[in-house]
A and B are shown apart, each in its own frame.
Chain A
């Protein structure tokens, strides 16, 4: 059972074997919320995985996550659960590698992979739809701290999509950066690459 009173309702946890209770891992966030997460999902977090691979650690005490808030963890768990589900749509012999060349595959495998790709596309399009820039940044920090490569990669691509048509000022604000070019230096760049500054969204 996952707790998280103020959050979006969590989908049903994955069961490792039908009928048997899935092994869960307990996580405690910076703001004191307790989450019980299925082991399969928790092992997607690199930091959790290495924490429990250490033999001396028992799985009964909650693992502290001092850099992650309850709201962020809840969203991270949602993402990882869904991602695992989608990955399980593909038969194990084939690996879901987005950059692999088109290999010769069986018809059924190809269909399953296509369906999984489509599911992932739709899920990822929805996942961040209503999140503010601040929320997305919080997720990035959480995914980075928890060392979840797939989620972090997805978040990086999503942020890139959000900012690609924005102005230099917008990018500075988003990342909290102070510009350190002199006005003359900046004017020179803007002139040399004038084409890159055309058609930019209004701030």
Chain B
């Protein structure tokens, strides 16, 4: 039976199918294949391709975390990506040499946040933010954010920062919150001023944002420098809400900043939350964790339905733990000490279409 079968006359794979094939390739291959021809290069750097590729990567890879080196000053520093189930290192990316100069002499409180393969890396000098970078480790590309008009002063006590993704416009935002705290003559904290500013990637600029909570409410962070947890389209910090009515009232709540409409609001914590508190993302939901160091157990709540109308905390479990320290959450509620709370990671092409700024 050796009939010659007529082959279809057009043996070329159509463009939309080519697009779909390339969108399943790892970042390294996509970058290499920019060389194939100019029309490939042109669709690869398009925002639609970058989003499609990211979606595919999100469905392929689950639960990876990235660890950035403590200081970028030394040669040979690498970012390590590891799997949250086995903690095996699955990728390493050398840090580009342009980063060498900026991390000298400062301690690193870690990355501000990680969204869609983009890391927000602050450079702190004496607890003030000196410079902020957006960094895509797999692409070896980074972007230095412009300075804002707000001047850095050491007496602004609580500094908070957050990095979030705005899905409606496919944009990225960085927020910085400052509170100037003084003390009354009785030693009670008295907040003089608070100030917030937001950087938007698409306009490459900073803008001031009102902290529009109830008029008397002032904010005081639990930590010296606080980095937000990004979940459900908003950035979250654990904050003491201090209200001056007849008397000073202080309640710890979650401060939330909606990345889309740039509005602040507060979220009450579940009852009985007395011990050391943390917030995290657990399987895509906002999670609240308390640690009882003495009896060595942790309790976790998650917010099942997010949004002002039906919000409520659902207590998931209490776990006995060996070590008393909480660093962050994996999908399996793992608590490795190598984990920084904001560092979940997926390889992406975000920032590919932006110019790299390698030196200052």
Contact = CB atoms under 8 A, between A and B. Distances in A.
Interface of A: 5-6, 30-31, 67-71, 98-99, 101-102, 137-138, 140-141, 144, 152-153, 156-157, 159-161, 163-165, 167-168, 171-172, 175-181, 186, 189-190, 193, 195-197, 200
Interface residues of B, number: 38
Given A140-B17, A190-B35, A70 B5 contact: yes
B35 A179 contact: yes
A196 B31 contact: yes
Contacts of B14: 144
Contact of A31 (B5, B17, B31, B33): B5
A102 B285 CA distance: 12
19 contacts: A31-B5, A69-B8, A70-B5, A101-B283, A141-B8, A152-B17, A152-B20, A156-B23, A156-B24, A163-B21, A164-B25, A165-B29, A168-B32, A172-B36, A189-B35, A190-B35, A193-B34, A196-B29, A200-B32
A160 B24 contact: yes
A199 to B, nearest CB: 9
Nearest to B27: A196
B137 to A, nearest CB: 12
B28 A195 contact: yes
A181 B8 contact: no
Nearest to B22: A160
Contact of B34 (A67, A138, A189): A189
Given A137-B11, A144-B17, A175-B18, A31 B59 contact: no
Given A180-B38, A186-B35, A175 B6 contact: no
Contacts of B309: none
B31 A193 contact: yes
Contacts of B55: 99
A177 B38 CA distance: 11
Given A69-B7, A102-B283, A193 B32 contact: yes
Nearest to B35: A168
